[in-house]
């Protein structure tokens, strides 16, 4: 009896059978995606995190697909740029044969666009969020091209058959200011709604200590004394504070210092410490601990002037309102800027 096939041999046979059952275009697509995956893993190609063909950059009736790459570069799709400038598609080559590269390197235009010529002749290769290979240019290049074409026309250098491109450049240049193109791409791709969250994540890192620091005298005795008084609890030297005081402190202190602070402090404690660690032991010396002390001074000061907890709480909400855990979708990023940031 023949020897039984090994698992590897069986797998190879199954792979061959599957390959034979695929159409040529399906095999080509699988091979292409495998190559792109290797490129991405090797760091030779960047994937876009935001953008899709159905959410293009719109300027009047002109639509140009746009993307934000993982390294935060904003790019416009190559063919979209060509169509947006009202050029014929021309060759599909991504170097000298490309229609846009030929136009920019022409005798009439190149003197006005010499600085961006290398970028146009060497487009950015990237993967769209769905994994398709694409080519594009940094978004500001569109403004550079428009300015160069209009200067060439002003200098009488454009050929008659290029006038329609100049007219399209007029439309584009009116649709965005040079510094505004980034904001337009962010809006089209939805990246603008990620910025408050990402900026907040970077800011919160400044509040956290890399290792546990047993800060002493962080919560003053007055804090617990007046909290007991306002809650109608007799404070004794031998007493154990009610467990719900921890929830009150989260509410009165940590949720009001900066957005998401309570969440990241708990995460840091869970990752590097123990449940018994006090949250303020994970605040940084540079920003976290000093800001905590400043807020506690405000809280204790308000406690001292009130005899009723509800009235104290209402005034605290006015002076230092509670932040939600993360910015909401439609929040204005400016509302999340902390006065003591920096």
pLDDT, tens only, 56-85: 988 878 899 999 999 889 999 999 999 999
| Residue 191, pLDDT score | 73
Distance of CA 227 to the CA centre of its chain: 41
| Residue 148, pLDDT score | 92
pLDDT of 94 > 70? The answer is no
**Mean of per-residue pLDDT scores for the chain:** 80
pLDDT of 146 > 60? The answer is yes
Tokens 């202190």 -> residue: 253
The whole-angstrom separation of Cα 230 and Cα 328 is 33
Mean pLDDT of the region 38-62:
79
Tokens 């041999």 -> residue: 9
Tokens 């439309």 -> residue: 171
| Residue 14, pLDDT score | 52
Query: pLDDT tens digit string along 167-181?
Result: 999 888 887 755 567
Q: What separation, in Å, do the N-terminal and C-terminal C-alpha atoms of the chain show?
A: 78
- CA angle centred on 294, ends 321 and 279, rounded to 5°: 80
Query: pLDDT tens digit string along 228-245?
Result: 999 999 888 788 888 889
Q: How confident is the model at residue 341 (pLDDT cuts 50, 70, 90)?
A: very low
Distance of CA 108 to the CA centre of its chain: 40
Tell me the DSSP string of 121-162: HSPEEEE-TTS-EEEEEETHHHHHHHHHHHHHHHTT---GGG
- CA angle centred on 310, ends 308 and 316, rounded to 5°: 105
Contact between 291 and 258 under an 8 Å Cβ cutoff? The reply is: yes
Nearest to 128 by CA among 34, 196, 46: 46
Mean pLDDT of the region 268-297:
90
DSSP 59: E
DSSP 342: -
> What's the count of helices (H) and strands (E) in the chain, helices before strands?
15, 7
| Residue 1, pLDDT score | 44
The whole-angstrom separation of Cα 102 and Cα 124 is 17
The whole-angstrom separation of Cα 258 and Cα 228 is 26
Mean pLDDT of the region 324-333:
53
Q: Is the dihedral angle over the CA atoms 278, 281, 287, 293 positive or is it negative?
A: positive
Contact between 32 and 130 under an 8 Å Cβ cutoff? The reply is: no
Predicted TM-score of the model (pTM): 0.48
Parallel/antiparallel/unpaired status of strands 62-64 and 66-69 = unpaired
The whole-angstrom separation of Cα 120 and Cα 127 is 18
Mean pLDDT of the region 284-292:
90
Structure tokens at 35: 């190559």
| Residue 189, pLDDT score | 81
pLDDT of 184 > 90? The answer is no
Least confident window among 80-94, 107-121, 165-179, 224-238 = 80-94
């Amino acid at each position: 009896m023949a020897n039984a096939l090994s698992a590897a041999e069986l797998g190879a046979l199954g792979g061959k059978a599957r390959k034979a059952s695929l159409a040529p275009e399906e095999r080509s697509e699988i091979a292409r995606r495998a190559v792109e995956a290797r490129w991405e893993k090797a760091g030779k190609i960047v994937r876009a995190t935001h953008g899709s063909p159905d959410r293009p950059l719109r300027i009047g009736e002109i639509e140009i697909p746009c993307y934000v790459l993982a390294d935060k570069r904003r790019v416009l799709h190559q063919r979209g740029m060509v169509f947006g400038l009202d050029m014929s598609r021309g060759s599909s080559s991504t170097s000298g044969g490309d229609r846009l590269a030929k136009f920019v390197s022409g005798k009439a235009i190149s003197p006005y666009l010499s600085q961006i010529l290398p970028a146009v002749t060497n487009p950015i290769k990237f993967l769209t969020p769905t994994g398709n290979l694409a080519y594009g240019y940094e978004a500001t290049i569109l403004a550079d091209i428009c300015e160069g074409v209009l200067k060439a026309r002003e200098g009488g250098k454009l050929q008659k058959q290029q006038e329609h491109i100049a007219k399209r450049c007029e439309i584009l240049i009116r649709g965005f200011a040079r510094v505004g193109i980034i904001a337009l791409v962010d809006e089209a791709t939805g990246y603008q709604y990620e910025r408050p969250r990402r900026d907040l994540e970077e800011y919160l890192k400044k509040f956290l200590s890399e290792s546990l620091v047993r800060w002493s005298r962080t919560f003053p005795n007055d804090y617990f004394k007046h909290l007991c008084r306002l809650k109608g609890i007799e404070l004794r030297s031998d007493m154990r504070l009610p467990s719900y005081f921890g929830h009150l402190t989260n509410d009165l202190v940590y949720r009001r210092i900066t957005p998401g602070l309570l969440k990241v402090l708990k995460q840091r404690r869970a990752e590097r410490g123990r449940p018994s660690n006090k949250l303020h032991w994970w605040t940084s010396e540079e920003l976290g601990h000093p800001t905590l002390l400043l807020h506690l001074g405000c809280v204790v000061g308000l406690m001292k002037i009130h005899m009723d907890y509800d009235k104290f709480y209402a005034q605290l909400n006015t002076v230092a309102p509670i932040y939600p855990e993360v910015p909401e979708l439609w929040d204005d990023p400016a509302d999340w800027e902390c006065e003591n940031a920096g």
